[in-house]
Amino acid sequence: MTTEGSLRSTALRDGFWSAAPLLVGVVPFGLITGVAAAGSVIGAGLAWSTSFIIFAGAAQLATLDLFDAGAVSVVIIATGLIINSRHLMYSAALAPAFREFPASWRSLLPYILTDQAYAITITPYNDEPDPVYRRWFFLGGAASFWLTWQITTAVGAVFGAVIPGAWGFTFAIPLMFLALLIPTLRNRPALVAAIVGGGVAVLAASAPYRSGLIIGAVAGVVAGVAADRWWR
Amino acid sequence: MAVSPLLTILIIGAGTYLFRLSFIGILGDRTVPAWAVPPLRYVAPAVLAAIVAPAVLLSDGSIDVSPASNPEFLAAVLAGVVTWRLKNVIWALVVGMIALWILQWLS
């Protein structure tokens, strides 16, 4: 094996092992998203296709929920894009580390950029000078999340139909979002954003076109920014 | 305007890919404009809370915190506290589901 070949496989393996602890959390999330797809009004197959078309769990669950609620497509699209706008931040934060990659890598790797892939790459990237190592490390980590997501959501979509409704597994969806929410409450402005976002969404729950989530989210972001200014 | 579910999903997928591609593939050396940094920072807590709060606080369209008629609320509070203390997201699922089953069994 050439030196470059062994560098690649080392980097792929390092990426995978950095991802491994977080994969444990991805599995139930994927299964639940798959179960939600199984019961979707748009059909299990089309609902599952969000796993590789959108490939972002929170946006997928919110999208499927809005389809079930009969929301208009403009609201569904706006909600999905607001939820996923955080990827702009990840892209900006990773851009310096990706700068030396070939153009094909720079256009394809972003497809598998996720919250988890960002989390495992942002720190080691600061210390790793070799761009070849860096891109194979990212591929090893991010592709593990992609593959795990495709498999677990498919398994959930196939077996979701046979889980008894009395077990209350629909409650696992808000619990999953709660599990994502808690780690974001790192400071007071973030807490303000969450309280206002959640509070307004509750008050706006019967707003027309199922726009309550958008209204709550925008109110929460505005409150968070105001609190950020206040405390800085 | 009627847009099919498939097209709706494709538009969200394309937009999400463009967000991910933005600075890595298109904008290159540029950084996020200073005015956009604080709003983007609070998107995650605001959006996630806007999803969670109505789902656990509302029962048949009105606010209900009674463990008997809306056990999801108390179960979510317990799950949230445990997740926050133990810093491990898997506990949200375990604690929340078990609490829901116990509360349903009690009432």
Which is higher by pLDDT, B44 or B6?
B6
CB–CB contact B41 A92 (8 Å): no
- Tell me the backbone φ, ψ of residue A199, rounded to 5 degrees: -60, -50
**pLDDT score for A127:** 67
Helix runs in B22-89, H state only: 37-41, 43-57, 71-86
pLDDT tens for each residue of A171-215: 888 888 898 899 889 899 999 999 999 999 999 998 887 888 999
Q: Which of A18-27, A140-149, B80-89 has the largest mean confidence?
A: A140-149
State the average pLDDT over residues A116-125: 78
**pLDDT score for A126:** 58
Contact A135, A105 (CB under 8 A): yes
Q: Are strands B62-63 and B58-59 parallel, antiparallel or unpaired?
A: antiparallel
The answer to whether A208 contacts chain B (CB < 8 Å) is no
The answer to whether B27 contacts chain A (CB < 8 Å) is yes
pLDDT at B90 over 90: no
ipTM of the complex: 0.89
**pLDDT score for B40:** 86
**pLDDT score for A2:** 59
* Band of pLDDT at residue A154, cut at 50, 70 and 90: very high
**pLDDT score for A166:** 65
Q: Where are the domains of chain A?
A: 3-162, 185-232
What tokens does B24 get?
């890595």
* Band of pLDDT at residue A24, cut at 50, 70 and 90: confident
> Which one, of A142, A67, A92, lies nearest residue B12 by Cα?
A67
Chain A residues whose CB is inside 8 A of the B81 CB are none
Q: Could you count the other beta carbons within 10 Å of the beta carbon of residue A193?
A: 35
pLDDT at A1 over 60: no
**pLDDT score for A102:** 93
Look-up of token digits 């599952």? A48
pTM: 0.85
Q: Where are the domains of chain B?
A: 1-31, 33-106
Of B12, B25, B43, the CB nearest to A106: B25
The answer to whether B83 contacts chain A (CB < 8 Å) is yes
Look-up of token digits 């959006």? B47
pLDDT at B93 over 90: no
3-state secondary structure of A227: helix
